[in-house]
A and B are shown apart, each in its own frame.
Chain A
Amino acid sequence: MTKERNQALEIIVAEFHKKIKEAFEVFDHESNNTVDVREIGTIIRSLGCCPTEGELHDLIAEVEEEEPTGYIRFEKFLPVMTEILLERRYRPIPEDVLLRAFEVLDSAKRGFLTKDELIKYMTEEGEPFSQEEMEEMLSAAIDPESNSIHYKDYITMMVIDEN
């Protein structure tokens, strides 16, 4: 029994390794098995995980060199990322949880948030957005006529995008 389980695990781990390698290589511009540390967040998230900024910060500390060089080596990244995938850490946010989050912010239950309200929440609460992130989100989310975000439609659109 254990032998079969081990074999199955080996296969899963081998697949994870290939998947991680693929995602890593796309950002390895110089083909020397390193990526810029600023791309690590993108790589981890492209593999389907959703760490918060705080969690990401800790992860980077784990994979960085003793003396940070600004680059992360694949040899250090691979085992850490494999663990994350095996343990199914940092699972993505389900659609309904996301919807409820918007509903919480929309205390008047209007079905939308005004542009100003969204900006206020995203740039002042939680792990605040940078100006660039805010502008990006607004450009796709805001309905220019009403200057508001109808979050239910927005979420539906985003979900279709991803699939």
Chain B
Amino acid sequence: MGCSSSSTKTRKSETSLKAALIIQNWYRGYKARLKARQHYALTIFQSIEYADEQGQMQLSTFFSFMFENYAHVHKEELELRKQSLESEQDMRDRHDYVDLIDVPDSYNGPRLQFPLTCTDIDLLLEAFKEQQILHAHYVLEVLFETKKVLKQMPNFTHVQTSPSKELTICGDLHGKLDDLFMIFYKNGLPSENNPYVFNGDFVDRGKNSIEILMILCVSFLVYPNDLHLNRGNHEDFMMNLRYGFTKEILHKYKLHGKRILQILEELYAWLPIGTIVDNEILVIHGGISETTDLNLLHHVERNKMKSVLIPPTETNRDYDTDSKHNKVGVTFNAHGRIKTNGSPIEHLPKHEWEQIIDILWSDPRGKNGCFPNTGRGGGCYFGPDVTSKILNKYQLKMLIRSHECKPEGYEICHDGKVVTIFSASNYYEEGSNRGAYIKLCSGTAPRFFQYQVTKATCFQPLRQRVYTMESSAIKILKERVISRKSDLTRAFQLQDHRKSGKLSLSQWAFCMENILGLNLPWRSLSSNLVNIDKNGNVEYMSSFQNIHIEKPVQEAHSTLVETLYRYRSDLEIIFNAIDTDHSGLISVEEFRAMWKLFSAHYNVLIDDSQVNKLANLMDLNKDGSIDFNEFLKAFYVVHRYEDLMKPGVTNLG
């Protein structure tokens, strides 16, 4: 009796052991695959983000090309602009700006009192929590005062820490106001005993760039020695054109937005390049290169670095020495309008401009050496050897930078010498990443603090978060795919010798990678992007199913539609540049001329007659002008069966 029951018991516990093992094994496999999918989604977001930045950088060569060819056409117009600009110069005086704008009694938003005090910081925070908008009068006044004070700051701010005065360093915020609130909630408001460094990229992408900028500027004005702002690559009016800040301002400030943009352009250039903490930690936005010269950077005239898209051309250097000839230079002002200034271009020498680009755009990588940053199109990839060399050269111990989104909000590399700090949680999508900040105190190791803001009151389970991210990423990727439909179809058909409509997974992946130029795990992603038959072969035309671009007009040829859709961000910037009287309209003539240049430079083969047809069709009023915002809005992508991509919400009850 005793024997049999104990053997049954042992057998039973053996089986339950086995059963538990099976369930645990299976669950761990499932969880790992979820994590992998999360990483794939992040990879998609990142590749597309950097590919976009690269596209942005290429615009600069187009603009140089455009100046040479386009400016000749409109010389008279440029002369006119020169005259109106001189009066604009006067307008920049504070009186004409700020005092011309009245704050009506009916305004319910926050009213700031100059000189600013910490009460004004509290006022702003409370108001922004209620989603109020700060009146343009105050926005301009704050920006003016900030620019005035920034002008007196050196290129690098030197800061000392102590046990009673730790320094907090925050990375990219990108207009995510909730993250700034979270940081202040966890770490306290800035004050003399609670100093902060904000390491660039305060604006673009998120919905509250102007609010973040206001909070940071007001805090800076109240505590100019304890609130430090470093310039990021997005503190650049050309970047703002593409990545959302310009739109946000023009939307929130319909009347005075353009003036705000004008002064922002100058303010950006006066932002310091970096911060040096305790003489041993360098804090800059992007990174370094093997030629980084800190001594040079301490002395450059940083305010002459307008934008990454306005590189010094060969002729600029002549202008610097050629003031006698009073040549008229062509440059940009707020939101990309071509204008002339009456004086020679104020430009940095090429090597100084490149030094700053490296600081704002570079990324650390594991490989030794220094290589051009082909991902972004600007700055470089720098290896551990470069870090050691530069840090040793200037007797520094560590480099703290931002610029790259990291799943945990921070990342340490190069043997502990380089720290990336990123403060915008859920940057790509709800659940994509944490945000973090660092607290520094001389003599102790840096401490990291993480957070993640969430709309839901409690955290969704991992699978839900992964789904949200994955759906979002796949959607964006599919939009890329549809924008290259013609090229992809051609590539597929070239490989499809038997005209079967099918390719091997390998062939399909090869085409995708080559045409789209995105280094992604195509095989792992294939099940989300195409139909695969039971033999493992890809039905390649299914890459384009369930998604299409709406045509703005019936007759527009599909290749033209595709091209216009693919370049719509670039086109928006170019249109704004041409729209010299910023009316939102360009003439059909201008459209044609610009298109000719564009297609020549970008090597896009679109028939002239097709473009003419489109231009005329878009001129809905038949008055010879095209509303380009309407024109661009007309290209939107339709995802059919969107709901099918959402995870099945099941109720186990």
- Could you tell me which A residues sit within 8 Å of B by CB distance? 14-15, 18-19, 22-23, 25-27, 29-32, 34, 41-46, 49-53, 92-93, 97-98, 100-102, 104-105, 121-122, 125-129, 133, 136-137, 139-146, 149-150, 153-154, 157-158, 160-162
Contacts and interface: CB of A to CB of B under 8 A. Distances in A.
B39 to A, nearest CB: 5
B506 interface: yes
A105 B24 CA distance: 13
B279 interface: no
A105 B521 CA distance: 39
B184 interface: no
B505 A23 contact: no
Given A32-B366, A50-B26, A92-B26, A126 B36 contact: no
Q: Which 4 A-B pairs have the closest CB atoms?
A: A32-B366, A30-B366, A46-B36, A45-B32
A107 B17 CA distance: 13
A72 to B, nearest CB: 14
A157 B411 contact: no
A93 to B, nearest CB: 4
B91 interface: no
A83 B558 CA distance: 47
B291 interface: no
Dominant secondary structure of chain B at its interface with chain A? helix
Interface residues of B, number: 47
Given A26-B521, A31-B366, A34-B366, A18 B506 contact: yes
Interface of B: 15-33, 35-36, 39-40, 43, 364-367, 411, 413, 461-463, 505-506, 509, 519, 521-524, 647-648, 650-653
Contacts of A136: 31, 461-462
Contacts of B43: 26
Contacts of A129: 24, 27
Given A49-B29, A93-B29, A125-B16, 19 more contacts: A18-B509, A19-B524, A23-B524, A25-B521, A30-B364, A46-B32, A50-B25, A53-B28, A102-B23, A121-B16, A121-B23, A129-B24, A133-B31, A137-B27, A140-B461, A140-B463, A144-B653, A145-B653, A154-B652
Nearest to A163: B527
Given A42-B32, A45-B32, A160 B20 contact: no
A128 B16 CA distance: 13
Contacts of A149: 652
19 contacts: A15-B505, A18-B509, A19-B523, A32-B365, A41-B32, A42-B35, A45-B32, A50-B26, A52-B21, A100-B19, A101-B18, A101-B19, A104-B18, A126-B24, A128-B24, A137-B27, A140-B463, A144-B653, A149-B652
A98 B23 contact: yes
B595 to A, nearest CB: 39
A102 B20 CA distance: 8
Contacts of B653: 143-146
A46 B523 CA distance: 12
A98 B22 contact: yes
